Amino acid sequence: MLSDKKILVGITGSIAAYKSAILVREFVKLGADVKVIMTQAATEFISPLTLSTLSKNPVSIEFVKDEERGIWENHVDLGLWADAFVFAPLSANTLSKMVSGNSDNFLIATYLSAKCPVWVAPAMDLDMFKHFSTQENLSKLSEKGVHIVEPTAGELASGLEGKGRMEEPENIARVVHEYFMDDSELKGKKIVITGGPTYEAIDPVRFIGNHSSGLTGVLLADACANRGAEVVLVTGPTKYKVQNPTIKTLSIQTAEQMMDAVKGEWPSSQVGIFSAAVSDYRPAKAASEKIKKSDQDIELKLVKNPDILAWAGETRTSDQYLVGFALETENEEENAKGKFERKKLDLLVLNSLKDERAGFRHSTNKVTFIQKNNKLTNFELKEKSEMVEDILNAIEEDIK
């Protein structure tokens, strides 16, 4: 959900600054582009190199980058760049400067130039936090629309017990994420996703399958859930696990089992994303015991599996949005366009085994979107996690 968001993390002089490394990592994991601004005092608690490494961007501290060459840091551009500004930890000193506008350091100067939503996560000893000046300053910020992430109670650096501990980084990231999630067209919608291969038994130890890893289905499920959707993932065998605990996962082995699961979920869903690599055929009858090797050839009779995507297209209502996937090795666009029409899709994601590092067993993929009115969108090779966000963005744009 934060894949297109730019987040500034402001770090001030507090022992809780060590937690800022975890916060930066959380934002990066959610797909955000993160830049860090530190006060000089903050550098006494955590290394700028650590934060630069985690954010993959240089850390800003002073107004001047290179005094000899006259290169300065543009706080105005940086403030306008951000979609969100998060002060964590926020010291009492920086809090007072935010209220008074005392821009004697680069962090406050950037804050005064920013036009994005701002969050502050105070961190200080309990008496400092309770002090009337701190409480008045927090009230003033809140009145002006700044979001306050209240500190928690517990053991403090001073050895005292009480309220003043900076909220845990994972919870701060969740608060910011939920703020932007409210803008998602997928929020509150039920989405059924199929992923992974299907395994069709020949005997108790052999099967017909394919090289699908199931990674795309899992990434789709997490990305949809992170945008606030109610997600059901129907997946064949895969080593990958979803991260979002709200996802309902139905694990299956065969195409018939996947069909049964989809029949139970698709009628009540608003969106279907069918990324599974379903075996087209299965043995007419699986042997109950392992087939022994002999000198004779054997014949294996195959029967057609149910076409899950076609069924979903035939039974869909006008209010449902349907996405299918196609993997082609020849006449890619022509075959994909035919599938798009036959299966009654809103979006088809086409990829080819001819593209290096695309398709099965890679963390990357190179795809083309086929949409209504013969709209084609070609994408460069990118990580599958990024491809998934492109898919959801296209769905949201169509729904909107």
CATH code at position 287: 3.40.50.10300
SS3 237: coil
Tokens 């069709």 -> residue: 200
> How many structural domains is the chain composed of?
2
Residues 211 and 147 in one domain: no
**Do 48 and 107 belong together in one domain?**
yes
Q: What is the pLDDT of residue 156?
A: 85
Same domain, 277 and 363: yes
Residue 36 falls within a domain, yes or no?
A: yes
Are 99 and 157 in a shared domain? yes
Say whether both 207 and 313 belong to one domain.
Answer: yes
> Which of 74, 171, 210, 244 does the annotation list as catalytic?
210
In a domain, 1, yes or no: no
Give the domain-ending residue among 157, 181, 205: 181
d(CA 216, CA 240): 10
pLDDT of residue 318: 94
The encoded tokens of residue 224 equal: 């949809």
Q: Tokens 């020949």 map to which residue? A: 202
Using CA atoms, how far apart are residues 366 and 330, in angstroms rounded to an integer? 15
Residue at 333 is within a domain: yes
Same domain, 121 and 220: no
210 given a catalytic annotation: yes
Task: Please check whether residue 58 lies inside any domain of the structure.
Answer: yes
Is 242 part of a structural domain of the chain?
Answer: yes
Name, in order, each residue with C-beta under 8 angstroms of 241's C-beta and a sequence gap of 6 or more: 218
**Domain co-membership, 167 together with 221:** no
Are 346 and 276 part of one and the same domain? yes
169 and 280 within one domain: no
Looking at 159, 181, 203, which one is the last position of a domain? 181
Mean pLDDT split into 10-residue runs, the chain, 400 residues: 86 96 94 94 96 95 75 85 96 96 94 95 93 96 95 87 92 89 85 97 94 94 91 97 92 98 98 97 94 86 97 97 91 92 97 74 88 93 90 93
What angle (nearest 5°) sits at the alpha carbon of residue 206, between those of residues 202 and 209? 85
Q: Is 90 helix (H, G, I), strand (E, B) or coil?
A: strand
Q: With contact defined as beta carbons under 8 Å apart, do 225 and 218 qualify? A: no
Q: How far apart are CA 157 and CA 49, in angstroms?
A: 24
What predicted TM-score, i.e. pTM, was given to this entire model? 0.66
Answer yes or no: do 95 and 171 share one domain.
yes
Of 181, 207, 225, the residue that ends a domain is 181
CATH number for 146: 3.40.50.1950
Task: List the domain range (segments joined by +) for residue 119.
Answer: 6-181
Please give the radius of gyration of the chain, using alpha carbons only, rounded to the nearest integer.
26
Using CB atoms within 10 A of its CB, is residue 374 exposed (0-12), middle (13-18) or buried (19+)?
exposed
The answer to whether residues 135 and 263 belong to one domain is no
Give the pLDDT score at 66: 66
Tell me if 313 is assigned to some domain.
Answer: yes
Residue 35 Cα distances to 10, 25, 51, 55, 71, angstroms: 9, 11, 9, 6, 19
CA 354 from centroid of its chain's CA atoms: 28
Torsion sign, CA atoms 264, 267, 270, 273: positive
**Is 207 within the bounds of a domain?**
yes
Whether residues 208 and 136 fall in one domain: no
User: Are the beta carbons of 184 and 271 closer than 8 angstroms?
Assistant: no
Which pLDDT score is estimated for 294?
82
Peptide bond into 89 cis (omega under 30): yes
